[in-house]
Amino acid sequence: MDKRLPTRRGTNLPRMGDFNESVVLDAIRRVPDGLSRVELVEATGLSAQTVSNICRRLLNTGLAREAGTRSSGSGKPRRLLQVNAHARYAVGVHLDPAVVTFVVLDLLGTVVAHAQRPTPEAADPDHTLVEMSESINALVTDSGVPREHILGLGIAAPGPVDLASGLVIAPPELAGWGRVPLRDYLGETTGLPVLLDKDVIAAAVAERWAGAAANTGNFLFFYLGTGSGMGLVVDDVVLRGLSGNAGEVGGLYAACTTNALVAEAIEQGVLGPEFKPAGPRDAEHSLRQLCRRASAGNVTAGEIIDRWAVRVGRGVSAAATLVDAEMIVFGGPIWPLLADRFMAIVPGIVASSPFVEKIHPTVVTTTGLGIDVGAIGAACLVLDQILSAQPQSLLLG
Nearest distance from residue 331's CB to DNA, in Å?
A: 36
Q: Are 51 and 37 in contact (CB under 8 A)?
A: yes
Question: Residue 86, interface with DNA (CB under 7 A)?
Answer: no
Residues 109-138 that bind DNA (CB under 7 A): none
The interface with a second copy within residues 41-100 (CB under 8 A) comprises: 42-46, 50
* One of 38, 122, 299, 322 touching a second copy (CB under 8 A): 322
The site map against a second copy for 153-172 (x = CB under 8 A) is -------x--------xx--
**Looking at 26-34, 104-112, 127-135, 332-340, which segment touches a second copy (CB under 8 A)?**
26-34
Contact region with a second copy (CB under 8 A), list: 100-108, 178-186, 189-197, 233-241: 233-241
Least CB distance to DNA at residue 214 (A): 24
Figure out which of the listed residues 2, 14, 75, 235 binds a second copy, where binding follows CB under 8 A.
235
281 binds DNA (CB under 7 A): no
Residue 23 parent element (H or E)? helix 13-29
Give whichever of 50 and 366 is closer to DNA, judged by the CB atom.
50
- CB of residue 83 to DNA, shortest distance in Å: 16
Half-sphere exposure of 365 (CA within 13 A, CB side): 18
Among 27, 312, 349, 380, binds a second copy (CB under 8 A): 27
Pick from 73, 144, 146, 250: which binds a second copy (CB under 8 A)?
Answer: 250
CA distance 23 to 304: 47
- Contact partner at residue 72 from DNA, a second copy, none, CB < 5 to 8 Å by partner kind: DNA
Nearer to a second copy, 241 or 348 (CB): 241
195 vs 217: CA distance, rounded Å: 22
Task: Say whether residue 72 binds DNA (CB under 7 A).
Answer: yes
Q: CA-to-CA distance for 106 and 392, rounded, in angstroms?
A: 23
37 binds, among DNA, a second copy, none (CB under 5 to 8 A by kind): DNA
What is the 3-state composition of the chain as percent helix, strand, coil, each rounded to the nearest 5? 45, 20, 30
Q: Minimum distance between the CB of residue 52 and DNA, rounded to whole angstroms? A: 3
Q: How far apart are CA 180 and CA 128, in angstroms?
A: 11
Cβ-Cβ contacts under 8 Å for 112 (sequence gap 6 or more): 89, 104, 105, 106, 143, 145
Instruction: Give the nearest distance from C-beta 149 to a second copy in angstroms.
Output: 25
Number of Cα atoms under 13 Å in the Cβ half of residue 119: 24
Burial degree of 279 (CB within 10 A; 0-12, 13-18, 19+):
middle
Question: What is the DSSP pairing of strand 150-157 with strand 89-95?
Answer: parallel
| C-alpha Rg value of the chain to the nearest Å | 22
Task: Tell which residue, 282, 289, 284, 292, has the closest CA to residue 332.
Answer: 284
Binding-site residue total for DNA (CB under 7 A)?
Answer: 31
Q: What is the DSSP letter of 68?
A: E
Q: How many angstroms separate the CA atoms of 141 and 290, rounded?
A: 40
Site pattern 11..50 for DNA (x: CB under 7 A): -xxx-xx--x---------------xxx-------xxxxx
Q: Is 53 a residue that touches DNA (CB under 7 A)? A: yes
Strand partners, 162: 167
Q: Which amino acid is at 340?
A: D
**Residues 212-231 interacting with a second copy (rule: CB under 8 A):** 215-218, 230
